[in-house]
C-alpha cells in the first residue's frame, strides 16, 4: 500500500522519489561514499541494505571508500556493518569502527585500507571539500597515533604501505597537522520529512549531525546526494526554517518502508520524543545506578564539576555522570553538551549515546567541534582503556583490534580540564563499600596502568606542555599528570596502598607527599551532597572554578621530534 502511495505521489509531483534498490544501482564502482552517523542516528539503513544485497547478487558496486565521522552501528547487525563485505568496501576513513563488527574485521584482517582520524577533523573536512580548499590545519592529533611520525592514523599493516593522508607542516613558526581533502561521490544523508522538491527536515531526529555539510561536499565534488526519510510532504509545505538540507542539494529521496527497524533515532530506540525536543522528560525518571565501583568513580569525578561550566561526557563510564548529575539535582548548574550538537539537558548513555534528554538547543556536528576545538569545553570527562607512566591514554586499539578514537582526541586536546574515568583494572572487577570503606570483591584479570600503552590516543607529554589539569579517577585511587608523569594524589578509604594499588600497576607512580583520602561520603549508598559541594565552588572566582592555569606560550604546545619519537618507539613509522 505504501509503495503505491509513494509511486502515485512521485508521478503526480514529478518528485525525486526512488526505491532503495534504485538508489543502490546509482552507486558506481570505486565511489567514495560519505554518511553522517553516530550509532544509528543519521544512518540510512534501508539504502545500505539494498547496497549490500545488490553487491551479493551482481558484484557491484565494488571498491567503495566509506567515510563516516563518528561511532557507527549497534555493535551487532545494523549500521555500516551491513556493507562490511570483502570487495564491497576497500577503504575506510573515519573516527570509530567498534560498532560495526564486519568493518572492524576487514580492518583487522588487512582486507581493506583504513585511516582513523579524529571525529571533529572528519566532519570539519566536509566543509573544506565543499569549498574546494586544500584541507585543514589543526593541532588536533599531534603527539598521538594520528601524527604521521607515529602511525599517521593508519589502522593496519596494509595501510602502512599506503600514502599518508595527513602531513606535519610548520606555519608561522608553529607545528600543525595538514589533513588533506578528497572528492565525495555519494552523500547518503537522512531526515524525517522530504517534500517533492527534496527539501529535508529533521524534526524527529535526535541530531542534525553533518547532513548539510555532506550534501554540499558531494554536490560540489560533482557527486550525488540520496536522502532516506520517513515522511513525504507536498512541495512548499515545510516551514523554511525547519529545512535542514535544501532540496537543491538533494538528488534522490528514499522513503523507509520499515522505519521502526531501519530509521532508528539511536542504537537503542526507534523514537524517544525527549531526544528530539518534542517533550520535556522528568529527569527523576532516569533509572538509578547500581552501588558499585562505577558509581564510586562517577561520584568522585562529579566532585570536579564546576558551576557555570561547559561540560562534555565521553562514552562508557563517563556518560553515566549525566545520570548522577540529574539525580543529585545539579544538571542545571552547568551546561552538559554532546559532540554531535546537543546543548544543555542531560546527555544519554549507551545505547543512546549522542542523544540528549531535554536539550536546550541543537547545533550541527561540525559547528560543535569548532566550539570544542577553540577551547569551549571547561571540563571533559572521558574513559581510559590503558594508562602509562607518562600519562598517555589508549582508548583506540586493544590486542591489535582497531576501535578508533571518536572525538576523544579533539576533546582532550582543547578542553581546559580533562578527567579520565575508569576502573583500576579490567576484566571482571567487582567492588563494594561498607560504612564508607571500599572493598575489592574480585580483582580484574588485566591491568590498565601499563608500562607502555598499545596506542597513544592521548599524549601525556604533549598535554603536560599546556599545563592544564589532567586527572585519572578510579574507584580506589586518583592520579594527576604532574611534570609529565602520573602521580598518585588520593586513595580510597579501606584500600591498601601496596596490595590494592602498587601491586596492580606495571609501573610505580610518584606519590604525592600530600596524599589524601578520597571523600568517604561518596562510598555510602545514599549521597546527596553534590549540590552543596558545587554551591561552595560557585562562591569562588570564575577563573578558579576549573583550576585552569593560564595558557603558556604557544610554541610550547609542540613536542620536539625526539620527544615524539621517544613516546613509543615501536610505533614510529619507518
Tell me the catalytic residues.
339
- Would you say 136 and 180 are in contact if contact means Cβ atoms under 8 Å apart? no
For the sheet with 17-18, list strands across it. 17-18, 252-255, 224-229, 186-190, 32-34, 64-68, 89-94, 113-116
The one-character DSSP state at 361 is E
The secondary structure of 101-141 as a DSSP string is: HHHHHHHHTT-SEEEE--HHHHHHHHHHHHTT-SEEEESTT
Q: CB atoms < 10 A from the CB of 466, how many?
A: 16
Closest by CA to 252, choosing from 272, 275, 223, is 223
Report the alpha-carbon distance of residue 250 to residue 179 in Å, rounded.
27
d(CA 417, CA 419): 7
Q: Confirm if 295 and 302 have CB atoms less than 8 A apart.
A: no
- Helix H segments across 80-239? 101-108, 119-130, 157-160, 211-220
Directed axis angle between helix 365-373 and helix 119-130, to 10°?
120
Q: Where are the alpha helices (DSSP H) in 179-306?
A: 211-220, 259-262, 293-302
The set of cell numbers assigned to 164 is 599518508
Cα–Cα distance for residue pair 215/251, rounded to 1 Å: 10
**Cell numbers 585511516: residue:** 115
250 backbone dihedrals φ, ψ, rounded to 5°: -110, 125
Amino acid at each position: 500500500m505504501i509503495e503505491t502511495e509513494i509511486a502515485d505521489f512521485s508521478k503526480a509531483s514529478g518528485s525525486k522519489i526512488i526505491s532503495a534498490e534504485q538508489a543502490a544501482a546509482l552507486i558506481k564502482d570505486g565511489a567514495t561514499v560519505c554518511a553522517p552517523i553516530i550509532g544509528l542516528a543519521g544512518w540510512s539503513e534501508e539504502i545500505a541494505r539494498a547496497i549490500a544485497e545488490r553487491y551479493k547478487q551482481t558484484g557491484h558496486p565494488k571498491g567503495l571508500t566509506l567515510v563516516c565521522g563518528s561511532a557507527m552501528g549497534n555493535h551487532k547487525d545494523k549500521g555500516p556493518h551491513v556493507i562490511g563485505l570483502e570487495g564491497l568496501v576497500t577503504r575506510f576513513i573515519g573516527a570509530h569502527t567498534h560498532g560495526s563488527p564486519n568493518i572492524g574485521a576487514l580492518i583487522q584482517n588487512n582486507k581493506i585500507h583504513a585511516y582513523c582520524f579524529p571525529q571533529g577533523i572528519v566532519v570539519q573536512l566536509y566543509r573544506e571539500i565543499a569549498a574546494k580548499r586544500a584541507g585543514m590545519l589543526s593541532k588536533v592529533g599531534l603527539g598521538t597515533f594520528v601524527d604521521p611520525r607515529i602511525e599517521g592514523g593508519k589502522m593496519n599493516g596494509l595501510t602502512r604501505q599506503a600514502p599518508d593522508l595527513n602531513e606535519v607542516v610548520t606555519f608561522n613558526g608553529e607545528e600543525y597537522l595538514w589533513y588533506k581533502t578528497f572528492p565525495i561521490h555519494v552523500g547518503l544523508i537522512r531526515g524525517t520529512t522530504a517534500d517533492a522538491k527534496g527539501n529535508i527536515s529533521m524534526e524527529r531526529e535526535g541530531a542534525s549531525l553533518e547532513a548539510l555539510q555532506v550534501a554540499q561536499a558531494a554536490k560540489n565534488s560533482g557527486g550525488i546526494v540520496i536522502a532516506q526519510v520517513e515522511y513525504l510532504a507536498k512541495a512548499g509545505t515545510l516551514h523554511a526554517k525547519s529545512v535542514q538540507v535544501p532540496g537543491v542539494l538533494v538528488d534522490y529521496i528514499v522513503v523507509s518502508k520499515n522505519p521502526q527497524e531501519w530509521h532508528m533515532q539511536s542504537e537503542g530506540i526507534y523514537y524517544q520524543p525527549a531526544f528530539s525536543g518534542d517533550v520535556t522528560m522528568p529527569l527523576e525518571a532516569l533509572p538509578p545506578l547500581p552501588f558499585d565501583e562505577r558509581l564510586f568513580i562517577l561520584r568522585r569525578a562529579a566532585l570536579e564539576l564546576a558551576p557555570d561550566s561547559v561540560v562534555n561526557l565521553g562514552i562508557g563510564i563517563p556518560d553515566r555522570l549525566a545520570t548522577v548529575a540529574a539525580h543529585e539535582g545539579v544538571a542545571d548548574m552547568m551546561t552538559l553538551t554532546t559532540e554531535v550538537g546537543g546543548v544543555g539537558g542531560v546527555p544519554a548513555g549507551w545505547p543512546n549515546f549522542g542523544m540528549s534528554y531535554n536539550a536546550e538547543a541543537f547545533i550541527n556536528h561540525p559547528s560543535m567541534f569548532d566550539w570544542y576545538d577553540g577551547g569551549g569545553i571547561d571540563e571533559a570527562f572521558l574513559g581510559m582503556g590503558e594508562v602509562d607512566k607518562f600519562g598517555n591514554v589508549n582508548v583506540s586499539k586493544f590486542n591489535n583490534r582497531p576501535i578508533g578514537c571518536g572525538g576523544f582526541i579533539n576533546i582532550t586536546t582543547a578542553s581546559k580540564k580533562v578527567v579520565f574515568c575508569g576502573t583500576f583494572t579490567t576484566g571482571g572487577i567487582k567492588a563494594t563499600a561498607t560504612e564508607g570503606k571500599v572493598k575489592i570483591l574480585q580483582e580484574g584479570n588485566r591491568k590498565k596502568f601499563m608500562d607502555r600503552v598499545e596506542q597513544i590516543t592521548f599524549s601525556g607529554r604533549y598535554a603536560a606542555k599546556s599545563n592544564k589539569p589532567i586527572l585519572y579517577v578510579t574507584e580506589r585511587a586518583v592520579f594527576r599528570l604532574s611534570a609529565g608523569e602520573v602521580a598518585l594524589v588520593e586513595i580510597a578509604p579501606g584500600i591498601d596502598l601496596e596490595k590494592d594499588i602498587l601491586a596492580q600497576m606495571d609501573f610505580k607512580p610518584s606519590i604525592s607527599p600530600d596524599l589524601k583520602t578520597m571523600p568517604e561520603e561518596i562510598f555510602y549508598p545514599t549521597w546527596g551532597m553534590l549540590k552543596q559541594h558545587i554551591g561552595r565552588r560557585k562562591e569562588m572566582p570564575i577563573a578558579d572554578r576549573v583550576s585552569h592555569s593560564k595558557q603558556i606560550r604557544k610554541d610550547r604546545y609542540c613536542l620536539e621530534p625526539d620527544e615524539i619519537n621517544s613516546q613509543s618507539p615501536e610505533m614510529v613509522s619507518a
